[in-house]
Structure 1
Amino acid sequence: MNLKSTLRTSLKIVIPLVFGGLLLWLIYRNMDIKAIWEVIRRGVRYEVIAFSLLFGLLANVFRGLRWSLLIDSLKAPHSKTRAVVAVLGTYAVNLVLPRMGEVWRCGVVTKYDKIPFTKLFGTLLIDRISDVVVVGLITFILFFSNLSFFTNFSERNPELLDSFQSIFTSLWVYVCLLIVIAAVWFVFKYMSNFSLVRKAKNMLKNVWLGVKSIWLLEDKPKFLVQTLIIWVCYFMYFYVTFYAFDFTRDLGFHKGLIAFTMSSIAVAIPVQGGIGPWHFMVISTLVLFNVAETDAAAFAAVVHTIQTAWTGLCGLAAILILPLIKNNDKIQE
């Protein structure tokens, strides 16, 4: 690895980490750290949080099974076990390089099962789009059934609303988008004889084949059931932790769902483990539910730290056992 690529990789790690760390510092800098530490020491039922970890692992296992189902639709023999283990390893990679875990898992399956990377990447897009649709639907339903909460949230955090609005109201955003679309059209229309353009076309065709995996699925109900299980488990992964603290245990299912949705939105920001954005969204939400700010901060610190460490450890274990999975393990359903 040359100096330039080393520097580029280092920046990919450091910049998101610095951003998350800075946001974390801004969130906690004016809080009573001693009061937060007292909650962490004496006010947490850690056995309850330990129980919640099982739901996180189960959700990621089913994510791996769902991805394997998409790969099945490509008629490509592969190891279902490896697909699950690769998905678990994704989260460990993402803790170092945000969003690179998805690329890594496609690369792993390509290496061992000899399936074209671009086709796998197409299935990965469907995998992620499915999750965006689920979070979007939940957010949409909660938004219109809890307008007062979202109104209060935007009033307390006007800078978030302003930033979001600026993306859609800025003329430059649309100008740049049109320029990119025009440039791509021109290249593929008038430069199709260039070998690089032909390779790009072939790559996009393979990606599209992977994307079409959702239509080629022979058992679509199973895909939907697995998606439902994944998100029920993710919710339980978060909600069970409410019972580890006296100040959240009585908030109830509905408020738990709102807090879970806000935390899920935060995870979309490309920062290692959602460090910073996750804390901000969860603390801000709990405060609106009349939880003291120091208590909310302690909740976020404990839950995020333990669950992130758990995800990382499971991912690291998965990476270590990947070479031990036999290549002839072709478990198909």
Structure 2
Amino acid sequence: MPRLLQTIFKFIFFLAIGLFFVWLSIKDFNASQRAEIISYIAAADYWLIVPIFVLLVISNVLRAARWRLLIRPLHYHPQLFNVFAAVMIGYLTNLAIPRAGEISRCGVLARYEKIPVDKLIGTMIAERAVDVITLAALLLFSVIIQLDVVGDFFFHQFLRRQGQAAGKPYHVWVIITAVALIILGIWIMIRYFSHLRVYRKMRISVIRIGRGFRTVLHMRGNVWFFIYTLLMWAVYFVMVKIGFYCLAETQQLGAKAALAVLTFGSVGMLMPTQGGIGPYQIIVEKILTLFGMPVKISVAMSWLLWIAQMGLYLIIGFIMLLLLPVINSTRHDSAKV
């Protein structure tokens, strides 16, 4: 199959998955309820896009600076603008073909900084390893600091024990059950599926994550790498908190809700759809209802947060796509003089 047809097929396939999840998220609403959700979205305070835009740029400048730290041991010193532009173009690519952005940003930077692509891919794997571990740690922290909410959700949704969770110390049982399910899942995977290709791929991914994290731990200047990482996630957190102020009904949501939306919503963003469309909305809507938000408000907020992020990634990505060759041609011309 020609490469263009493969790209078109992947785009349609992943978009179809995303639209299926979108349908799942709204299928239980009638026409008037959907119109009400749209009215909430239309009435949002869109001036808050300005600070979110600034924070989005800052977070990705931090990401670019962090990536440069991984590249420098290879004896290359790329311009921060080029690294930032490559990161944003990678996000733009992901909006078309999920997971293709990681390779595309390496290709873009290799083109303008004359760095071998295979070396950049190695640094990208190390960077992603830290992101995966950081997200896992934040997910665990988010669950631990709000076990009452998680406990109620677990016993209401999975054990169907409505009316019994209030005032009951279910927290320990939630932890025990979760740990037991994880251990059981790992055992079943090793015992019955170790011969399958998907298991081998998962095992390779885990090994790569471990190697990537060890690379960062032994890297010179790793303290700054972790500082950039913490600052980056802190900016993401503030972005979500500001997003809550788009609707009057969600302005009272606190830090715990923002952390839960950030962490669990990030898992939705990792799903193989364009920008996580569909899974992100479902996850954020469920999280917000746990914090007492009406379902229609939760759905509206999930779309507002997604549209703000993906819309800005789209705009900045296209701007970088246009500016990158111009800036570098000027740079090369000045170097010749």
TM-score, normalization by structure 1: 0.81
Amino acid at match of 1:117: V
Measured at CA, do residues 211 and 34 of structure 1 come closer, stay the same or move farther in structure 2, by a change above 3 Å? closer
Task: Give the match for residue 174 of structure 1.
Answer: 194
Measured at CA, do residues 83 and 212 of structure 1 come closer, stay the same or move farther in structure 2, by a change above 3 Å? farther
CA RMSD of aligned residues (A): 3.0
Measured at CA, do residues 76 and 273 of structure 1 come closer, stay the same or move farther in structure 2, by a change above 3 Å? same
Amino acid at match of 2:194: Y
In 2, distance between residues paired with 1:178 and 1:94?
Answer: 23
Give 1:20 deviation, angstroms. 0.7
Task: Give the match for residue 202 of structure 1.
Answer: none
Give 1:164 deviation, angstroms. 8.4
Task: Give the match for residue 235 of structure 1.
Answer: 237
Measured at CA, do residues 135 and 209 of structure 1 come closer, stay the same or move farther in structure 2, by a change above 3 Å? closer
In 2, distance between residues paired with 1:270 and 1:53?
Answer: 25
Give 1:215 deviation, angstroms. 5.0
Task: Give the match for residue 219 of structure 1.
Answer: 221
In 2, distance between residues paired with 1:53 and 1:61?
Answer: 12
In 2, distance between residues paired with 1:277 and 1:65?
Answer: 30
SS at match of 2:283: helix
In 1, distance between residues paired with 2:199 and 2:220?
Answer: 40
Residue 12 of structure 1, aligned match among 5, 10, 16: 10
Task: Give the match for residue 200 of structure 1.
Answer: none
Q: Work out whether residues 129 and 212 of structure 2, in 8 Å CA contact, stay in contact via their aligned partners in 1.
A: no
In 2, distance between residues paired with 1:280 and 1:209?
Answer: 33
Task: Give the match for residue 142 of structure 1.
Answer: 142
Give 1:211 deviation, angstroms. 7.8
Residues 33-112 of structure 1: pairs in structure 2 closer than 5 A: 33-42=34-43, 44-112=44-112
In 2, distance between residues paired with 1:283 and 1:247?
Answer: 14
Residues 257-296 of structure 1: pairs in structure 2 closer than 5 A: 257-296=259-298
Q: Work out whether residues 71 and 213 of structure 1, in 8 Å CA contact, stay in contact via their aligned partners in 2.
A: no
TM-score, normalization by structure 2: 0.80
Task: Give the match for residue 300 of structure 1.
Answer: 302
Give 1:77 deviation, angstroms. 3.5
Worse-superposed segment, 305-314 or 92-101: 305-314
In 1, distance between residues paired with 2:133 and 2:113?
Answer: 29
Amino acid at match of 1:151: G
In 2, distance between residues paired with 1:296 and 1:92?
Answer: 27
In 2, distance between residues paired with 1:286 and 1:40?
Answer: 16
Give 1:157 deviation, angstroms. 5.7
SS at match of 2:76: coil
Higher relative contact order (CA 8 A, sep 6+): 1
Amino acid at match of 2:196: C
Give 1:139 deviation, angstroms. 1.1
Measured at CA, do residues 164 and 152 of structure 1 come closer, stay the same or move farther in structure 2, by a change above 3 Å? farther
SS at match of 1:244: coil
Give 1:210 deviation, angstroms. 8.4
Task: Give the match for residue 324 of structure 1.
Answer: 326
Give 1:294 deviation, angstroms. 0.6
Q: How many residues align?
A: 300
Amino acid at match of 2:25: I
**Deviations for 1:232-266, whole angstroms, at most 9, x for unmatched residues?**
11111212111121221112112211222111121
Structure 2: where are the runs of 5+ without partners?
A: 159-177, 205-209, 333-337
Percent identity between the aligned chains? 27
